[in-house]
Each structure stands twice: as structure tokens, then as C-alpha cells.
Structure 1
Amino acid sequence: MSAAHAGFSELSVLAAAERTLTRLRQVDGHVVTAESCTGGLVAAMLTHFSGSSDVTEGGFVTYSNTMKQKVLGVPAKILEKHGAVSAQTVEKMAEGALEASPLATVSVAISGIAGPDGGSAEKPVGLVWFATAMKNGAVISDKQVFSGSREDVRAQAALHAFELILQRLG
């Protein structure tokens, strides 16, 4: 876990969401989310604020592999070879969300193991993969391992997602 995530709270996640909305407005951007382990938390934090619809296109909650394939176009071979919690999967999720949202200029995708069960030696509880994609730009993936309860992991993942969007927007 990075030092940036120490001492997070719902208020810090909401503050990060608000900063993201402000930056999206400054650059005339529009965001779409593709979430698995966060279950729509990033989209919920964005839409917490009145007027967020001017820069928030929407979000996809694709918890199952079937939904990742059917809704976001993640190839079955990627899921079979790398698993749902992998750079390859979140990259395809980010691309799929962007393609499904014609007005979106940036997407963020999240897939991880929030716990308390489901971890392994290779993929421990707290492992979360992220990807951001930009219209006409590169897809960038990022891996974090968070600690704490299921709720802690999900909140830290949401906070990190906002940090990644802000980095991409400059």
C-alpha cells in the first residue's frame, strides 16, 4: 500500500471525486467507469455531486466474467489465460467502456480481490488492477495491493482510480 492511501476516508474519496469533476470540466472531458470489485463505487462517488452529469457519462459494473465479455468485449481467451484480476483484463475493460460511450474522453477500469476471501499466493486479497484509456490515446494499467477490510480495499481502490484519472487529464 502506498503512503498516499494511508488514512483514507469516505470524505477523502468524495474530495477526490470532486477534484476529478472539476478537472474534467476544465478540460471539457467526459468520464466513463468500468468496475468489478468496487461495484460501482467510483461512479457513485462521481454522481454524489449535483451537476456531475455534465462530465460523467456513466458506468458499467461487470462483476462476472460473462458481463466483462458481453458488456465490455473482454475476450474469453484473455480471461482464461490471465484471469479477471490482471492488466490484460482491465485494459480491455477500459477500452470497451470507452467504445461503448461515444462522448467519453477518458475511462477507468478496476478489477481486484477485495476480500476477505478469494486471494491466492499469486493474487492476494487486496490486489487491484486499474487501467485508464483516453480517446485516441494509450491505455495505461497500474497494480496496487491494499490492506484492510473489504470496505477499506474498495474505498482505497476508488481513491486510487480518481488519482489515475487526474494523472491522465494532466
Structure 2
Amino acid sequence: MTAETLSPALPEDVERLAQTLLTRACAESLTLATAESCTGGLIASILTDVEGMGHAFERGFIVYTGRAKADMLALDPGLIARCGAVSAGVAIAMAQGALAASHADIAVAVTGFAGPAGPDDEPGLVHFASARRGQAATHHVAHFGDIGRGGVRVAATRVALEMMLGEIDRTAPEAGNFGLLPVVGSESNQGD
């Protein structure tokens, strides 16, 4: 099966990752949730686009502003003020908030700069976090560079799908195989 409506626009490896993730989640009766900022719902869209496997996707939160992150995921606005919206601490809190606000078993969160938002912002800087009920959240940071909004969104989606697959495989609190850190960190980046 392929992603029905998005297939023409998706790189083949991203489509395969989504199919593999959904197949594995269905086989293990796990449900998924997303908390997305710079990807704008692209991850949720991909996970609901494969016919016959949508039941593995529990819900998605598109939280582009700090207020949305606070309202929908119960993030402390002080965390955003201290760390910046694009930071490890906020990404981890988003993933944990998505689990708390859903019935999903695994959640992924993405926050970053898809394009230049301010003079001190790094285009392509994206923080990710994934969490599985009963385990510590993991964090990953990527520096995709100035590859355009669409390029950053697709690259970030690829990493998010890989992280969710890693959560299915993870049985202990240690991180997966792509440079993840098991504890909250922070960087002082502003914007989204």
C-alpha cells in the first residue's frame, strides 16, 4: 500500500518509513500521536493517508504558536520564555504533553525553523522528541540548513517517523541509534 493522496509529493523513503511504522504499530496494537509545529501537520497527514492502517493514528496536535502549545499540550509558558520555542526542553514537553492529552502509546514532537524567522534564527534548526508511555522521552536535534520550508518539513518528517519506529523497538530507557539524548536539554532559540 502507498500513501494515497500524498504519494506523488513524497520521497519514496519517507513513504516507506510511514508504511513500516504503521505496519509495526498495527502489529503490536500501538497507537500514535503527533505534536507538530514547523511541520504543520505533515506527519499526521502521512500517517492517515495509508489506506487500512489509519487506526494506528490516535490524534495529532498542530501547535504553531506558544499559546497553542500551552493550551493544547499544557506547556508552561515560562518554559517557552526560558528555553525558546525551538529548544530541546520545549520539544520534550510537547511529546509528553501529547501523550498526556491523548490515549496514544507513542508520541513525537517537532519544533523548529523551517525558514528564517528572525535575524538570530538558524534556518533548518529542528528539535525533536519522542515518548512512549512509561519510558523517558528522547531528544534529537537536526541542522538541515537553508533548504527551504518544504525541504525542512520533509526532512523533519523523515526523522520523526524514524524516531517513532525507534520507540516501538525501545524496551529500555536508553536512546535509539541516531544520536538521541534521554534527558531534557535546552537552547535559547526564539521563534517557530
Partner of 1:114: 114
The percentage of aligned residue pairs carrying the same residue is 36
Q: 1:25 Cα deviation (Å)? A: 1.4
CA contact 2:23–2:53 (8 Å) conserved in 1: no
Q: 1:120 Cα deviation (Å)? A: 4.9
- Structure 2 Cα separation of the partners of residues 81 and 52 of structure 1: 39
Q: Deviations over 1:106-161 (max 9, x none)?
A: 0000000000x21555x410000000011111111110011311100100000110
Aligned in 2, Cα 1:16/1:120: closer, same or farther, shift over 3 Å? farther
Q: How many residues were matched structurally?
A: 159
Which amino acid is 1:125 matched to?
P
Aligned in 2, Cα 1:119/1:166: closer, same or farther, shift over 3 Å? farther
Which of 136, 139, 164 is matched with 2:137 structurally? Answer: 139
Over the residues paired in the alignment, what is the CA RMSD in angstroms?
Answer: 1.2
Which amino acid is 1:108 matched to?
V
CA contact 1:30–1:105 (8 Å) conserved in 2: yes
Partner of 2:59: 58
TM-score, scaled relative to structure 1: 0.89
- Structure 2 Cα separation of the partners of residues 139 and 51 of structure 1: 29
1:81 and 2:82 equivalent?
Answer: yes
Partner of 2:173: none
Structure 2 unaligned blocks of 5 or more: 1-9, 170-192
- Structure 1 Cα separation of the partners of residues 142 and 119 of structure 2: 15
Partner of 1:92: 93
TM-score, scaled relative to structure 2: 0.79
Structure 1 unaligned blocks of 5 or more: 1-8
1:33 and 2:51 equivalent?
Answer: no
The structure whose residues are more often helix, as a share, is 1
Moved more, 18-27 or 79-88: 18-27
1:166 and 2:159 equivalent?
Answer: no
- Structure 1 Cα separation of the partners of residues 167 and 91 of structure 2: 16
1:149 and 2:148 equivalent?
Answer: yes
Q: 1:12 Cα deviation (Å)? A: 2.1
Q: 1:50 Cα deviation (Å)? A: 1.2
